[in-house]
C-alpha cells in the first residue's frame, strides 16, 4: 500500500524540457530519491551515490536499463518493488523519442564529453509529476479507514478497572516468574566456559605451547544460549471477550520481558501489534490496539486470518525454531477446510503450535465445533487459559517447549 | 571481464542460461561498481545456477560458501590444522628447536586450513574469482556481521601470520531464500535483484535450451501447465528445476504428448509434498 504524500508547488518540476542538461537530470534523480524516502523506502546517501555512478555505465536512453539500474541500487526487498514501480512509472514519464535514440558510447568521462551533451539535447525528455501527487493523495484520504466503535467491540470500552489491582499484581508476579526460565535455548555457537562439555581446540593448543606440545591444561567451550522466538496470535472477537483481560495482560508482559516475541490479534482480520505494545503501559497499549484493530461483527474468521499470517508474515519471521501460540475458542465462520490447510502450512514451518482455548476450562467441554476439530491434529499442546492456575500450567509448558 | 550488457546476455546464453536483461544489467553494474549482488527469489528459479554460469563465462573458478546455522569464522574463513600442529610440535621438539622456531613452523601456511572466504581472498590468478555465498538467510546474525566486515575490505588478519589482502576483488553473489530478514547493513552493501518465476516464453526458452531434443508441442504443453500450477496456492510451488526434471522424465518415458494418466504418474517430479499432490488431484479433476 502506498502512503501518499503531498508534493508542494515549489518542488514540482517544469512541465517540459527542450533539451536536457546534466544538472537537471541530477536534480530529478535526487527528487525521485527523496520521494522514495517519503514512501518509506530505505534510501541512503551511499545508495544514491552508487546509483549515480551506475548511470555512467549504462545507456540512460534505454528505459529498461534505466529502470533496472535504479531498482538494483535503491531497493533491497521484494515487497518494496510494487511501491517503487508505481513511483517510477509516475515520475519518469518519457516521450516517444527516447526509444528511437541511438546507442550512446559508454564513456567514463561522460561529464566532459561534448558529443554526449549533444546527444542529450537530442533527447526530448518529458518529466513531470502527473496528477499522481494530487489525485492519488485525495484517493488515499478517502480510503483511509476510520475506526468505528461498535457495540461488540470490547477491548477499549470495557473498563479496565474491572481488573482489581490485586488481580493484576498476582498475574504480573506469576508471569514475571515464568519468563526468565523461558527462552533460553542452546544454539550451535560456542563460547568459552570452564565447565563446558566440548573441548576448545584453539585455546587448548595456545595454552599448551609453553608446555611443548603436551596437553596439560584443557580449555572447554559450551554452546551459547540463544533466545527463541515466540509468535502469539490472539482472538479478540466478541466471543473471547471475558477472557481477554487475562491474556492481554499476559501477552503484554511476555512481549515486554522476552526478546524475539511477535504479537498479533485477529477477529475478521489479522493485525500485527508487536510495535504497539512496546514502550507503553498496558492501558495505553489497549487503547492503541482498539484504535488500530477494527471489529465489524462478533464473529471470527480464523482460517483467513491464518492465511494472511502464512502469506504475509510467516516468510519473514517463522523458522523451525519458532513456537506459535494461538489463543482462541475455535468458533470459526470460515469453512474448516481453509483452517485445516492453513494449520498444516503453519505446522510445517514452525516447531510447535500451542492452542489455548478458554473453553477447555469448563467441565464437559468437547472440541466439537468444526474449526477446533480441524485444527486439533496439528497442535502440539491444547491447553485451557481461563484462570491463574491454567496460567501457571502454561508457564510450565512454555518452559519445556521453548 | 564483461564488456557490455549485451555481451553478458550472449555469454550466459552460450552457457545455456536464459537470462533477462534485468539480470544482465545488474551483473554488469556489479562488475563496474565492485558491489556484491544480493539475489532473492523463490526456490528453484536459478539463483545458484547464475553464479555457476558466470564463473564459466568468465573462465574462472567458482568458490562456494554454503551457509548454515552455526557457520562461523573457523568454518568459513580459516582454521588451524590442530592435529597436524601437535605432531609438528613433537617433531620439532625432537629436533631440539627453540620455542620461537617451533612457533614459526607450526603457524605457517602449511598448517592453515583454507576455507572458502580465505580462498577467495588469496586467489592468485589474473582473473578474479566468483564467490557464491549461498542461502545466507540460514546463517545467523553474527555471521552476517562478520561477513560484512570481510566484504568491505576483502582483507583479513590472521594473528599468527599477518594481514592478508585480496589482490583482486572477487565477484560476489549472495543468495537468500527469504526465510528471515537480513540485516540492513548487508542489504545496503549489495545490488538487489529479485528473480521471479519465469513467464511462459522464458520458461519455454529455458526448456528448449537445456533439452534441445524435446518436441516443441510437448514443451509448450509442459510450460502451459506450469504456468497454471504456479497461479494456484500450493505449499511448495515448483520451480524451473522441477520443470526440467519433469521434461526429462517424460522424454525418458517416450511420451510425446501430455495425457492425464502420464501426468498423474509423474506428479512426483513436480510436487515434493504429499499435500500438494492431493490438492492437485482434487482441484484439477476437470482438466
Residue A154 is assigned to a structural domain of this protein: no
Q: Do B85 and A205 touch (CB under 8 A)?
A: yes
Q: Do B103 and A212 touch (CB under 8 A)?
A: no
Residues A174 and A89 in one domain: no
How many whole angstroms separate alpha carbon A50 and alpha carbon A129?
Answer: 24
- Strand A270-272 to A261-266 pairing: antiparallel
Burial of B71 (0-12, 13-18, 19+ CB in 10 A): buried
- Per-residue cell: A362: 469448563
Domain spans in chain B, listed from the N-terminal domain onward: 5-74+115-195, 78-113, 200-283
Nearest CA among A343, A353, A392, A394 for reference residue A170: A392
pLDDT in tens, chain A (402 residues): 444 444 444 444 443 333 444 457 888 888 889 988 888 888 889 899 999 999 988 888 888 889 999 999 999 888 788 889 888 888 887 533 333 332 333 333 334 444 444 433 333 232 223 223 334 444 444 443 333 333 333 332 333 334 455 655 665 666 666 665 554 444 445 555 555 555 667 777 777 666 655 665 566 665 554 444 789 998 887 777 667 666 777 777 777 766 678 888 888 888 888 877 766 666 777 777 777 665 544 678 888 899 989 988 887 778 888 899 998 888 877 778 888 889 999 998 888 999 988 777 677 777 777 778 888 888 988 888 766 677 777 877 877 776
Quick check: is A365 in a domain? yes
Rounded to whole angstroms, the Cα distance separating A81 from B189 reads 18
Q: How many CB pairs under 8 A join A and B?
A: 102
Same domain, A203 and A298: no
In a domain, A152, yes or no: no
CA distance A327 to B48: 41
Interatomic CA distance for residues A386 and A124, integer angstroms: 71
Do A318 and A256 sit in the same domain of this protein?
yes
Examine the fold and report which residue of A225, A249, A282 is the final residue of a domain before the chain moves on: A225
CATH number for the domain running over B5-74+115-195: 3.40.50.300
Considering the domain boundaries, does residue A91 fall inside one?
yes
Q: How many domains does chain A have?
A: 3
B7 Cβ under 8 Å from any chain A Cβ: no
Residue A5 confidence (pLDDT): 45
Question: Could you tell me if A260 lies within 8 Å of chain B, comparing CB atoms?
Answer: no
Q: Is residue A331 part of a domain?
A: yes
Residue numbers in A near B178 (CB within 8 A): 78, 315-316
If asked whether residues A338 and A268 sit together in one domain, one would say yes
Cβ atoms of B190 and B148 closer than 8 Å: no
How close is the nearest chain B Cα to the Cα of A78, in Å?
6
Residues A204 and A268 in one domain: no
Tell me if B191 and A73 make a contact (CB, 8 A cut-off): yes
Both ends of chain B: CA-CA distance in Å?
Answer: 49
Residue B188 has pLDDT above 60, yes or no: yes
Q: How many CA atoms lie within 13 A of B35 on its CB side?
A: 26
Distance CA A217, CA A57 (A): 59
Considering the domain architecture, whether residues A203 and A318 belong to the same structural domain is answered as no
Provide the β-strand partners of residue B134.
Answer: B66
Domain co-membership, A239 together with A221: no
Q: Where are the alpha helices (DSSP H) in A187-281?
A: 201-208, 241-257, 274-277
Range of the domain at A167: 160-183+227-401
Whether residues A288 and A329 share a domain: the answer is yes
Q: Decide if A76 touches B, using CB distance below 8 A.
A: yes
A49 and A78 part of one domain: yes
Q: What is the largest CA-CA distance in chain A?
A: 88
Residues A81 and A170 in one domain: no
b or e along B112-132 (b: 16 or more beta carbons within 10 Å of the residue's beta carbon)? beebbbbbbbbbeeeebbbbb
In a domain, A332, yes or no: yes
Instruction: Residue A5: name the closest of A27, A23, A32 by CA.
Output: A32
* Identity of the residue in A47, A57, A209 whose CB atom sits nearest the CB atom of B29: A57
What pLDDT score does A213 carry? 56
| Residue at A114 is within a domain | yes
Please indicate, yes or no, whether residues A341 and A384 belong to a single structural domain of this protein. Answer: yes
Amino acid at each position: 500500500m502506498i502512503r501518499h504524500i503531498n508534493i508542494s508547488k515549489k518542488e514540482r518540476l517544469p512541465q517540459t524540457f527542450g533539451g536536457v542538461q546534466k544538472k537537471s537530470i541530477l536534480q530529478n534523480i535526487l527528487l525521485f530519491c527523496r520521494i522514495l524516502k517519503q514512501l518509506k523506502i530505505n534510501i541512503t546517501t551511499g545508495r544514491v551515490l552508487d546509483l549515480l555512478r551506475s548511470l555512467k555505465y549504462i545507456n540512460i536512453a534505454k528505459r529498461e536499463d534505466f529502470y533496472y539500474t535504479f531498482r538494483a541500487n535503491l531497493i533491497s526487498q521484494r515487497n518494496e518493488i510494487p511501491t517503487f514501480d508505481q513511483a517510477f512509472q509516475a515520475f519518469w514519464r518519457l516521450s516517444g523519442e527516447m526509444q528511437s535514440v541511438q546507442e550512446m558510447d559508454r564513456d567514463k568521462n561522460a561529464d566532459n564529453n561534448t558529443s554526449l551533451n549533444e546527444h542529450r539535447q537530442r533527447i526530448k525528455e518529458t518529466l513531470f509529476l502527473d496528477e499522481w501527487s494530487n489525485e492519488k493523495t485525495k484517493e488515499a484520504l478517502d480510503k483511509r479507514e476510520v475506526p468505528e466503535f461498535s457495540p461488540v467491540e470490547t477491548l477499549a470500552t470495557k473498563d479496565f478497572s474491572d481488573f482489581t489491582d490485586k488481580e493484576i499484581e498476582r498475574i504480573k508476579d506469576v508471569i514475571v516468574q515464568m519468563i526468565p526460565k523461558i527462552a533460553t535455548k542452546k544454539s550451535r555457537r560456542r563460547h568459552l566456559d570452564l565447565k563446558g562439555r566440548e573441548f576448545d581446540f584453539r585455546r587448548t593448543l595456545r595454552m599448551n605451547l609453553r608446555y611443548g606440545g603436551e596437553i596439560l591444561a584443557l580449555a572447554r567451550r559450551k554452546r551459547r544460549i540463544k533466545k527463541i522466538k515466540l509468535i502469539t496470535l490472539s482472538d479478540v472477537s466478541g466471543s473471547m471477550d471475558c477472557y481477554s483481560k487475562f491474556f492481554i495482560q499476559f501477552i503484554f508482559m511476555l512481549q515486554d520481558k522476552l526478546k524475539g516475541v511477535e504479537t498479533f490479534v485477529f477477529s475478521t482480520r489479522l493485525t500485527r501489534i508487536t510495535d504497539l505494545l512496546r514502550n507503553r503501559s498496558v492501558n495505553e497499549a489497549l487503547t492503541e490496539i482498539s484504535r488500530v484493530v477494527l471489529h465489524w461483527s462478533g464473529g471470527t474468521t480464523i482460517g483467513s486470518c491464518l492465511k494472511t499470517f502464512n502469506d504475509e508474515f510467516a516468510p519473514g519471521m517463522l523458522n523451525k525454531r519458532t513456537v506459535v501460540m494461538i489463543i482462541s475458542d475455535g468458533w470459526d465462520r470460515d469453512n474448516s477446510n481453509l483452517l485445516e490447510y492453513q494449520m498444516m502450512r503453519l505446522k510445517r514451518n514452525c516447531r510447535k503450535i500451542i492452542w489455548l482455548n478458554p473453553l477447555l476450562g469448563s467441565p464437559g467441554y468437547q472440541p466439537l465445533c468444526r474449526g477446533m476439530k480441524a485444527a486439533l491434529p496439528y497442535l502440539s499442546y491444547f491447553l485451557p487459559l481461563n484462570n491463574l492456575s491454567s496460567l501457571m500450567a502454561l508457564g510450565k509448558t512454555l518452559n519445556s517447549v521453548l | 571481464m564483461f564488456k557490455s550488457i549485451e555481451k553478458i546476455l550472449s555469454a550466459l546464453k552460450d552457457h545455456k542460461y536464459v537470462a533477462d536483461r534485468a539480470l544482465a544489467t545488474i551483473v554488469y553494474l556489479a562488475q563496474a561498481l565492485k558491489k556484491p549482488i544480493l539475489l532473492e527469489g523463490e526456490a528453484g528459479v536459478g539463483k545458484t545456477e547464475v553464479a555457476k554460469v558466470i564463473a564459466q563465462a568468465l573462465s574462472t573458478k567458482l568458490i562456494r560458501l554454503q551457509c548454515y546455522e552455526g557457520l562461523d569464522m573457523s568454518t568459513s574463513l580459516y582454521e588451524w590444522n590442530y592435529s597436524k600442529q601437535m605432531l609438528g610440535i613433537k617433531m620439532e621438539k625432537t629436533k631440539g628447536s627453540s620455542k620461537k622456531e617451533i612457533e614459526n613452523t607450526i603457524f605457517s601456511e602449511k598448517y592453515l586450513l583454507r576455507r572458502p572466504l580465505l580462498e577467495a581472498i588469496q586467489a592468485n590468478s589474473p582473473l578474479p574469482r566468483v564467490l557464491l555465498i549461498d542461502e545466507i538467510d540460514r546463517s545467523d546474525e553474527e555471521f552476517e556481521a562478520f561477513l560484512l566486515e570481510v566484504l568491505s575490505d576483502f582483507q583479513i588478519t590472521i594473528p599468527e601470520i599477518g594481514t592478508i589482502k585480496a589482490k583482486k576483488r572477487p565477484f560476489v553473489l549472495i543468495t537468500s531464500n527469504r526465510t528471515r530478514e537480513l540485516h540492513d547493513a548487508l542489504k545496503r552493501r549489495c545490488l538487489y535483484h529479485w528473480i521471479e518465476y519465469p513467464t511462459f516464453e522464458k520458461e519455454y526458452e529455458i526448456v528448449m535450451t537445456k533439452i534441445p531434443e524435446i518436441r516443441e508441442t510437448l514443451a509448450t504443453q509442459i510450460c502451459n501447465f506450469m504456468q497454471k500450477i504456479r497461479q494456484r496456492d500450493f505449499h511448495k510451488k515448483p520451480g524451473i528445476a522441477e520443470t526440467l526434471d519433469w521434461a526429462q522424465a517424460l522424454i525418458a518415458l517416450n511420451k510425446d504428448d501430455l495425457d492425464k494418466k502420464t501426468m498423474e504418474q509423474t506428479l512426483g517430479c513436480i510436487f515434493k509434498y504429499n499435500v500438494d499432490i492431493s490438492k492437485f488431484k482434487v482441484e484439477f479433476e476437470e482438466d
